[in-house]
Amino acid sequence: MTSDTAIGIHDLSFATTEFVLEHTVLAEYDGTDIGKYHVGIGQRSMSVPAADEDIVTMAVAAAAPITARHGVDQIRTVLFATETSIDQSKAAGVYVHSLLGLPSSARVVELKQACYSGTAALQLAIGLVRRDPSQRVLVIASDISKYDLDSPGEATQGAAAVAMLVSADPTLIRIEDPSGLYTADVMDFWRPNYRTTALVDGHQSIGAYLQALEGSWKDYTEQGGRPLSDFSAFCYHQPFTKMAFKAHRHLLNICGQDADPAEISRTLGLTTAYNSVLGNSYTASMYVALASLLDHADDLTDQAIGFVSYGSGSVAEFFAGTVVPGYQGHLRTAANREAIDRRQPLDHARYRELHGRSIPNDGGVHPVPRQTGAPVRLSALDHHKRIYELR
């Protein structure tokens, strides 16, 4: 394959959960002015998983439309990115591989580095396809963000999975080679093995994000990347949607450019539509932003998009992609909107009940109540084994 052969995102699909909690419900419970949520952090609702949903069930729901459209024979690798893993040893993607009926002649690997690892998976996939352009790689990013009840992070919770088929001659996005990288050892957000909810230093986390953005942009320019003026839009990791606006203002400032609010809204606004109602989906967040941009923009043909991927701890990457002519004929706009609209609203008591559910760890047989209408559900835990059930 010649070095100028395009590689990138050939198809993209996302899924979310059965339930949704509106921020108006949360604000009424905790006595918060709704403007703190709607305006302050830019969030309107959050996806909440049913008892029988997890990162595997969402991943299957996201990936199934891709394998239905393209088949499974050319998929030799599944890369599953998550920071809410269900097992310390077995990759969650192995369950997905089985449930989707993928061939046994495939590798499956799970990747972790906070919210960044979806991008690590994408870049690894590009390398595999570059080595053998006849192969396709299924990249999945799936996460459920969960914080302590009544904590500052509670309003930023959410859940979603994104599946991407990476191939040569892609129909959606050509990923460009220059890439800016940044890593620093920072304790801004972490979740020890013995905890089910994350620990967050909110103020430090925002600062670490901005520092990582600055460092990855500097490296991107040194690697021969595009000038800032080339980009028509930017997809940022969105722990909450207003963070994308804060980050972009910082990028403009360090580049000596005017942070005009109208221009910032033009380049970022369409990327936040889905994340503002799904909440933070960690590894999937930036790619949910991409889906939102593609679904809402009039025509992005041949335009450059900047991608800012950040994972606490911390690792960041700045890279670019170009939108492929004819991309609109391959979008899943109706299905994406249906995934959001089908969620059932929760009252606050029911939300707290679901939030408080825990996985039994006694090794017994524990059926899981049927709550979701998704293609696959977690049906039981049996002697420490997760049992999944197809509809």
| Contact (CB, 8 A) for 163 and 140 | yes
User: How is 148-174 classified by DSSP, letter by letter?
Assistant: -TTSTTGGG-EEEEEEEEEEES-SSEE
Which of 93, 165, 183 is closest to 126 using CA atoms? 165
Report the C-alpha gap between 154 and 254 in whole angstroms.
Answer: 32
SS3 of 281-314: CHHHHHHHHHHHHHHHCCCCCCCEEEEEEEECCC
- The one catalytic residue in 10, 23, 97, 237 is 237
214 carries an active-site annotation: no
| Residue 66 φ/ψ, nearest 5 degrees | -70, -45
222 included as an active-site residue: no
Is the bond preceding residue 314 a cis peptide, omega within 30 degrees? yes
**Any residues with CB less than 8 A from the CB of 35 and at least 6 apart, and which?**
none
In sequence order, the β-bridge partners of residue 367 are 380
Quick one: CA torsion of 360, 366, 372, 376, rounded to 10 degrees?
100
Q: Identity (one letter) of the amino acid at 353?
A: E
* Contact between residue 125 and residue 139 where contact means Cβ atoms under 8 Å apart: yes
Concerning whether 83 is annotated as a catalytic residue, the answer is yes
Q: Write the CB contacts of 5 (distance below 8 Å, at least 6 apart in sequence).
A: 133, 168, 169
Pairwise CA distance, residues 127 & 122, whole Å: 9
CA dihedral 168, 171, 173, 179 (to 10 degrees): 0
State the catalytic residue, choosing from 22, 83, 110, 214. 83
> What DSSP element (H or E) covers 196?
none
The active-site residue out of 115, 176, 214, 355 is 115
Task: Report which residue type is found at 231.
Answer: F
Contact yes or no for 62/138 (Cβ under 8 A): no
Tokens of 99: 């449930």
**Which residues does the annotation mark as catalytic?**
83, 115, 237
